[in-house]
């Protein structure tokens, strides 16, 4: 990996934490740029779509054309890490969602707020495919993957729902990998470059 440029979509949500986490994962071997308009994503070697409010972020993506740029980049093989609301936005299908159309990249069916109001926010130790020790994941009004196609590799589950999944250059996480010190998911994203 030679000096990568990572774009963090920055309309709304937990942007600064993702920028900091990605800068730490890069360790000086690249730069992070915040994306709020069209024209930046085509020059990025990797893209992060953070959590936040999926209806709001989806609206900004459609209005600015950044959503179309992400779809084009991801389709041409640029690594894309989408977390929480980001996962909802890149999925093929969102259960009972009529306010926006997801980008239709990750071949999964997602339910918003899958863990219900009683479990609004929680942490869980996940056994993740390929990790030698558990990963402490932070879930905030999190979605879950309730269906997936055979081209999708499930990396972690809670009960019968997937909470981390990968499909070629796309990675979708139901939780937030950016508020923790553990950068293993950011590193997977950078390793795909």
Quick one: 140 or 146, whose CB is closer to ligand GLN? 140
Q: Which among 69, 178, 186, 189 is annotated as catalytic?
A: 178
Closest approach, Cβ 169 to ligand GLN, in A, equals 21
3-state secondary structure string across 61-113: HHHHCHHHHHHHHHHCCCCEEEECHHHHHHEEEECCCCCCCCCCCEEEEEECC
Which residues make beta-bridge pairs with 82? 49, 172
- Is 189 a known active-site residue? no
The residues, ordered by sequence, that sit 6+ positions from 140 with a Cβ below 8 Å of its Cβ are 51, 84, 120, 121, 175, 176
192 alpha carbon, distance to own chain's centre: 14
Q: Which among 44, 69, 176, 186 is annotated as catalytic?
A: 176
Quick one: 30 or 86, whose CB is closer to ligand GLN? 86
Quick one: 54 or 169, whose CB is closer to ligand GLN? 54
> By Cβ distance, which residue is nearest to ligand GLN?
51
Closest approach, Cβ 141 to ligand GLN, in A, equals 4
Q: Which among 84, 96, 153, 187 is annotated as catalytic?
A: 84
Quick one: 26 or 161, whose CB is closer to ligand GLN? 161
β pairing state of 144-148 and 106-111: antiparallel
Q: Integer distance in angstroms from the first to the last C-alpha of the chain?
A: 7
- Is 123 a known active-site residue? no
Q: Interface with ligand GLN by CB under 6 A: which residues?
A: 51-54, 84-85, 88, 112-113, 140-141
Closest approach, Cβ 69 to ligand GLN, in A, equals 21
- Is 178 a known active-site residue? yes
Q: Which residues are catalytic?
A: 84, 176, 178
């Amino acid at each position: 990996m030679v000096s990568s440029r990572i774009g963090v979509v920055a309309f709304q949500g937990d942007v600064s934490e993702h920028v900091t986490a990605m800068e730490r994962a890069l360790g000086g071997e690249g730069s992070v740029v915040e994306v709020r308009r069209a024209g930046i994503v085509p020059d990025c070697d990797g893209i992060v779509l953070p959590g936040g409010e999926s209806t709001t972020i989806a609206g900004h993506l459609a209005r600015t054309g950044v959503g179309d740029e992400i779809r084009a980049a991801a389709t041409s093989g640029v690594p894309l890490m989408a977390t929480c609301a980001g996962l909802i936005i890149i999925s093929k299908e969102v259960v009972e969602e009529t306010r926006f159309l997801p980008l239709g990249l990750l071949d999964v069916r997602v339910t918003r707020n899958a863990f219900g109001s009683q479990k609004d926010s929680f942490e869980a130790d996940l056994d993740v495919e390929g990790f030698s020790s558990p990963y402490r994941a932070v879930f905030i009004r999190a979605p879950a993957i309730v269906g997936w196609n055979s081209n999708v590799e499930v990396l972690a589950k809670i009960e019968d729902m997937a909470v981390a999944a990968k499909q070629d250059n796309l990675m979708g996480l139901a939780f937030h990998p950016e508020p923790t010190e553990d950068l293993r998911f950011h590193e997977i994203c950078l390793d795909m470059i």
